[in-house]
Structure formats: C-alpha cells, structure tokens
Amino acid sequence: MKYDLLVIGGGPGGYPAAIRASQLGMSVALVEQRRLGGECTNYGCIPTKSLIWPVSMLHSISRLGFVKMSYEVDFGGLMSWAEEVKSKISESLESLLRKYGVEIYEGRAKLGEVVEVEGGPSLRGEKVLLAMGTEPAGLPGLEVDGALVHDNRSILSLRRKPSRVLIVGAGYIGVEYAALFAKLGSEVHLVEALEKPLATMDEDFSRLVTRRLSKLGVKLYFSTSVREVERRERYLKVGLTSGVSVEVDIALVAVGRRPNSAGAERLGVRTDTRGYVEVDGTMRTSNPNVFAAGDLAGPPLLAHKAFAQALVAAENAAGRKSYYEPKVVPSVVYFDPELVSVGLTEAEARRAGYEVSVAKLPIGGVARAVIEDSVDGFVKLVYESGSKALLGIHMAGPHVSELAGEASLAIEMGATLEDLALTIHPHPTISEALQEAAELALGKPKHYYKK
C-alpha cells in the first residue's frame, strides 16, 4: 500500500499532521501501536487534568471555614472518570481522522524503506512523518512492575487509593501527582536529586512549589536519591541517600523521558546524542523525504509544541513552505496554584544578551484571587529595558493556565508593557494581574502601593 504521507504515531505530533495533509489533498495513512491521542491523551495531559480538576475543586471548597463538608473520593470512580474522559477524546479523534479519509493501522510499525505494521500490511509513503514520541525513562533499581512501582502510564490503572506514595522526580509530573495524592489524603514522599523542584523553571516557581507542598503535608527530600529498594508483597521499603527509609504502598517514577527513535536510522535519519531526531525549521530530518514532529524531534516535550510542528511537517510534505519558528512555547504546570511560563526567564534573557528589566506583582493584588481564596502567587514580567517589549511572562495563581494564551500572543505580537497596560482587562478576573503587572512596571500600579 502506498500513500502520499505515512504518519508513524497517533499522538499530538502525528494526528494533526494526518489531518492537515488530508486537507491539502494527500492520501494519508497513520500507524498507532496503542491508542490514538498518544501520551497526551492517554497518559498525560488529559487523564491527569481529569484527576486534578475534581480533587482540586473539592479541596479548595472544603478549606473554606463556612463549608460544613468533609469529602471522600471514590478512588476507583475517580480513575474511571479519567478513563472515560480519555476514551471520549481518543474516540472523537478516531472519527475525525476517518472523516478526513485517513487510513488508520493499529500495530507496532517496524521502520524501513517499507514500513511493516505488526500483524498488518506493509506500507510505503512518498513522504514519512515520524512521531513516535517519548516514553518514561526508567530508574535502575526501581523498575516499573505495574503493581508496586509505576510510571505515568501504569499509575492510571490503579483502582485502590494508595495510603502511602513515594514519588521520585519533582518535575511537573512529580509535583502534580504529589499535590493530587496529598489532597486525596495519602501520605506523600517526594524525592528529587536536584536541590529544588521544577529546577528548569524560574526560581520563584521552585520556592512557591516547595512552600505549597509543605503546606499540603508532603514530605520533601531534595538533593536526595533512592539508594535501595526492598519489594515486599504489598509494600515497598525504600532507603534514601539521606539515610531516611520510607515504607510506601506504591512508588511513581517520574524522572524524565527518552525518545522512541529506535529504527529511525533505517530511514537514513540522524539522531542526536540523546536519541532525539534532528530536524530543521521545516521539520525535515536528514532524509529530505522524512519528517519528524513532537517529542521525537526534541524538547520541549509538550503537546501544543507537537501540534505546531505536526502542521509544519504536513505542509512541507505537501510541498508548501512552512516553518516552525515560534518565539515562545508556553508551559503550564497544573499545580495548586497553576503555574505558567511563557518566553524567557530573567536569567535566560540576560544570557541571550538582552538588556532586561523585571516587574513582579503578587497575585493577591487582584480581587479575583481574594474571592477564590488563592492569593499565593505572582505575575512576573521580563522585558527589554529600552523598548519595553515583553520577553517573558511567568505566572502562578488560580486559572493562570487560561492566561498562557494571552501571554503567548502578547510576546508573539511584540507587545510592550504599554500595550498590556492600555488593554482593558475585565474586572474581577485573574487576567487583571497581567495588566496590573505592566502598570507596576511602568510605575503606575492602581491597586498596589509602590514606594
């Protein structure tokens, strides 16, 4: 079977490309070994947010003194809810792809000049898009068994609430699950080899996350690693390098990811030292007929980045001219409060050679944060001192994930502090914090005392 475009992988780096290519008149086949939607839909964005949303709501409401309510979550029901959500999304993806005439093959693809689908046909593509993504990186000694030790995939099959949880890795997956389990009433131990959580993000986020997790009762072990693991029948005994030993019902390993690029070399595709496929701005690999998009094409490992790259790859495969060159890729952590990072941090901007100024507004300065009893947070603007053009926007606060788009648009459009300050933001919303922060930077905050 021969197609104009053969897409390997049905996640965010693959399926949008299949749809776009079909819109451009190409015949398209897509091979997926698990379920459509990839890591995001099945194990990442979608199920985790499905878990976090109801639990966070409950937790927030129950903290109000006048609410006479204690909550109990049917853990199995909660996990089924996440399952239900991701099924809905995965199914709607399938029907969408079919409407576009994309032929879907289920099975593992063995890459080569001809792509063999396990238990299925051999496929050829005039152009090929590799979008096999990444998988959880393992931790020696703490191999995933799906019973006591989990990764972000297997943990979704839990049906009984663990009363004691060890999380290894305080990246965004680790801190999101730490807060979730803490709110569900589990005893949570969070171990991180680096000296702080979210080490790659702005320093202010690390401090806030540390403070909030402590408040939730999470036991934090930074600059610490797992030294030894004893697997008992129903629990784990884990010794840490700090000398502490903890007993937990399950462990979640969230220490990073590794690219699924095995076999790519058979297509004449070059990979870098970490195994990510090398691409240019058109998402072409070293083989001009082979494209790559999404996680496989390297960090940041984010679904929305994969979407953008998938479209670029499809357009180029169809012979159009298209480039992937965003100024910013927003990143969001669905923590409590939500964290958003768009563009350069202060340190990155200085390293890049810009002359930089920074303004930081406490989120408690906006009425909506007070209304929602969530005043721990900030909006931090990083801007070029001369032009006052925005270089980075970093936010922590309720609903700020919904402001990530505005922040990205502002930077993409080259907005300055004035643009933000002169754009009327509705009251009372959290979005006012962006306007107020710009006003603060310009020396004229209206709800904030400036010496």
Partner 1 sequence: MEVRLPDIGEGLTEGEIVEWLVKEGDKVKQFQPLVKVLTAKATVEIPSPYEGTVVKLLAKPGDVVKVGQAIAVIEKEGAGLVEERHEERRELVRAPPRVRKLARELGVDLAKVKGTGPGGTITEADVMRAAEEARKPEAKPPPPAEKPSDREERVPLRGIKRLMALKMAEAKAKVPHAYIAEEVDFTELVKLRESLKEEAERRGVKLTLLAFIVKAAAKALKSYPLMNASLDEARGEIVIKKYYNIGIAVDVEDGLVVPNVKEADKKGLFQIAREIQELAQKAREGRLSLEEVSNGTFSITNIGSIGTVFGMAVINYPEAAILGVHKVQELPRVVDGEIKPRKVGILSLSFDHRFIEGAYATRFLLHLKRLLENPVLIMAPEEEFQ
Q: Is 412 in the site for partner 1 (CB under 8 A)?
A: yes
Q: Closest separation between CB of residue 422 and partner 1, Å?
A: 11
Q: Is 95 in the site for partner 1 (CB under 8 A)?
A: no
**In the structure encoding, which two tokens stand for residue 231, read together?**
């697997």
Give the integer Cα–Cα distance in Å for 433 and 413.
19
Among 245, 387, 428, 444, which residue sits at the site for partner 1 (rule: CB under 8 A)?
Answer: 387
Q: Is 68 in the site for partner 1 (CB under 8 A)?
A: no
Stretch that binds partner 1, among 43-51, 94-102, 253-261, 413-421 (CB under 8 A): 413-421
Q: Which is nearer to partner 1, 83 or 412 (CB)?
A: 412
Among 74, 121, 157, 323, which residue sits at the site for partner 1 (rule: CB under 8 A)?
Answer: 323
Residues 346-365 binding partner 1 (CB under 8 A) are 352-355
Q: Which is nearer to partner 1, 165 or 415 (CB)?
A: 415
Single-letter residue type at 68: K
Q: Is 414 in the site for partner 1 (CB under 8 A)?
A: yes
The site for partner 1, by CB under 8 A, has a size of 19
One of 59, 150, 394, 427 is an active-site residue; which one? 427
Bridging pattern class, strands 103-106 and 378-384: unpaired
- Give the CA radius of gyration of the chain: 23
Confirm whether 427 is a catalytic residue.
Answer: yes
Among 391, 404, 430, 438, which residue sits at the site for partner 1 (rule: CB under 8 A)?
Answer: 391
Q: Is 321 in the site for partner 1 (CB under 8 A)?
A: yes
Q: Closest separation between CB of residue 409 and partner 1, Å?
A: 9
Q: Which is nearer to partner 1, 146 or 414 (CB)?
A: 414
**In the structure encoding, which two tokens stand for residue 156, read together?**
């979704």
Q: Which is nearer to partner 1, 249 or 346 (CB)?
A: 346
Among 389, 400, 434, 438, which residue sits at the site for partner 1 (rule: CB under 8 A)?
Answer: 389
Q: Which is nearer to partner 1, 83 or 384 (CB)?
A: 384
Q: Closest separation between CB of residue 301 and partner 1, Å?
A: 22
Among 247, 372, 384, 402, which residue sits at the site for partner 1 (rule: CB under 8 A)?
Answer: 384
Stretch that binds partner 1, among 204-212, 318-326, 368-376, 440-448 (CB under 8 A): 318-326
Stretch that binds partner 1, among 75-83, 155-163, 409-417, 435-443 (CB under 8 A): 409-417
Q: Is 413 in the site for partner 1 (CB under 8 A)?
A: yes
- Hey, which residues are catalytic here? 427
Give the binding site for partner 1 (CB under 8 A): 281, 321-323, 325-327, 352-355, 384, 387, 389, 391, 412-414, 416
